[in-house]
Structure 1
Amino acid sequence: MAQQHRIFGMSFASIYPLYVAKVERKDRSREELDEVLSWLTGYDDVGLRGAIADGVDLETFFDEAPGLNPHAAEITGVICGVRVEEIEDPLMQKIRYMDKLVDELARGKRMASILRGS
């Protein structure tokens, strides 16, 4: 049986406000954050708000996502000391993609670059 990472059971609702605080500290907006999350997951605003209201865990959040962006594989780099493109567990990789995009937003990267030119 594969090891279950503790993060898989964390609720999206518990992580979202941390993302909001991180990007707002760097003068980016909640709307920009939502745009990045929607780009990655396919959730629209109603879907994101629903996931927060329902308290779904990260595994469910990604399982129920309308669709991972086909350009997500273009997200590369290091997050938490690990190269995201080398993460073998598909769910962990999606979570780290999300973390990486939020980091890029907070660092002031241009939105077109964060959204991989789309």
Structure 2
Amino acid sequence: LWTGKPTNPEADARNAVFYGDKAIDRSPCGTGTSARMAQLHAKGKLKVGDSFVHESIIGSLFKGRVEKEVVVADKPAIVPSIGGWARMTGLNTIFIDDRDPFAHGFIVT
């Protein structure tokens, strides 16, 4: 996750999420936006009820809000809400071969 100053005056921060060897998310990323809000809340910069607008590397926006404080695994956390838009860019069909002993997954131990 890269963070920086926004270019959109409506946004509070800008980010880019990198994954895999050569991929970048074009959206502000729901997980990244939630993580950034949790970080800002932990630093006292976002309170319950505060809004946070996250801008992506291409300028799209997600609007988040800190809904409430909770405790997860004995650690302070938040419940965020996020709004934005999405478009379907593809369809995928998965076929399962009944002869495949790993058709329903496997566990690496």
Which interval holds the TM-score relative to the shorter structure?
Answer: under 0.3
Larger Rg: 2
TM-score, scaled relative to structure 1: 0.26
Higher RCO (Cα < 8 Å, 6 or more apart): 1
Tell me the TM-score normalised to structure 2 length: 0.27
Identify the structure with the greater strand proportion: 2
